Amino acid sequence: MLQIGWVIAAVVVAILLTTWVIFTATRLDRLHARVDAALAALDVQLVRRAAAVRHLLEAGTLRLSDADAQRYAAVARAALTATGDDREPAENQIGRVITELAELADQVGVADAVELREAGVRVIIARRFYNDAVRDTRGLRSGLMPRILHLAGHREVPQFFDIDDTFTFPDPSGTGTAPQSSTEEFTP
């Protein structure tokens, strides 16, 4: 009779452990899907921001020297084509270009100012969503059992996307400039 009790206890423990492993593996898979979706959304917003700068430069309303116009266009082009490890420095440069263009705010039309401002804010929000997803995924992956059981499979550990998304651009409503920033620190 005592042996049957041990067998039943072992079966219950095995069922609970299997349920936990399946639940954790499913959650980890969903978190990786969330990271992928957030990265795609972030990419869209980064492209939109660089395209807004490029559109402003191509509109011809700014009084820029040829050297500045070419430099800004090159930065926008680099931001639009950057991938991998080159992406963060390129996005930092486009952020600095937006800040420099803010000094020429009197030359920028209201529609262009709204477009640049909204594009910058959307990058801040998309980056925050992406980094939150990365933090959650890394947190679950760092547990002892998920590492021992290799529940993440062969997926790479997602990396944070850290850029300086502090920018100042005039509020088109005429109430002055309002800095927009996301200076949260995400620790792995």
pLDDT in tens, 30-48: 999 999 999 999 999 999 9
Q: What is the pLDDT of residues 172-182, one digit of tens each?
A: 655 444 444 44
Total domain count for the chain? Answer: 1
Residue 183 predicted with pLDDT over 70: no
Tokens of 33: 């899907």
User: Could you tell me if residue 43 is inside a domain?
Assistant: yes
- The 10 Å Cβ neighbour count of residue 153 is 9
User: Could you tell me if residue 186 is inside a domain?
Assistant: no
CB of 79 within 8 A of CB of 90? yes
Q: Is 125 helix (H, G, I), strand (E, B) or coil?
A: helix
Q: Looking at per-residue confidence, does 120 or 32 come out higher?
A: 32
CB of 88 within 8 A of CB of 161? yes
pLDDT for position 40: 97
User: Could you tell me if residue 80 is inside a domain?
Assistant: yes
The band of 168, judged by pLDDT with boundaries at 50, 70 and 90, is low
User: Could you tell me if residue 188 is inside a domain?
Assistant: no
User: Could you tell me if residue 150 is inside a domain?
Assistant: yes
CB of 98 within 8 A of CB of 169? yes
Q: What is the pLDDT of residues 62-97, one digit of tens each?
A: 888 889 889 999 999 999 999 888 999 999 999 998
Q: Looking at per-residue confidence, does 109 or 4 come out higher?
A: 4
Q: What is the pLDDT of residues 130-139, one digit of tens each?
A: 999 999 999 9
Mean pLDDT of 134-151: 93
- Its pTM stands at 0.81
User: β-strands 176-180, 167-171: how paired?
Assistant: antiparallel
Q: How far is the C-alpha of 144 from the C-alpha of 154, rounded, in Å?
A: 17
Mean pLDDT (the chain, rounded): 85
Q: Is 12 helix (H, G, I), strand (E, B) or coil?
A: helix
- The Cα-based distances of 88 to 31, 113, 123, 166 in angstroms read 23, 24, 13, 14
CB of 117 within 8 A of CB of 171? yes
Q: Give residue 172's domain range.
A: 2-180
CB of 38 within 8 A of CB of 126? yes
User: Could you tell me if residue 187 is inside a domain?
Assistant: no
User: Could you tell me if residue 59 is inside a domain?
Assistant: yes
pLDDT for position 84: 86
Q: How far is the C-alpha of 19 from the C-alpha of 13, rounded, in Å?
A: 10
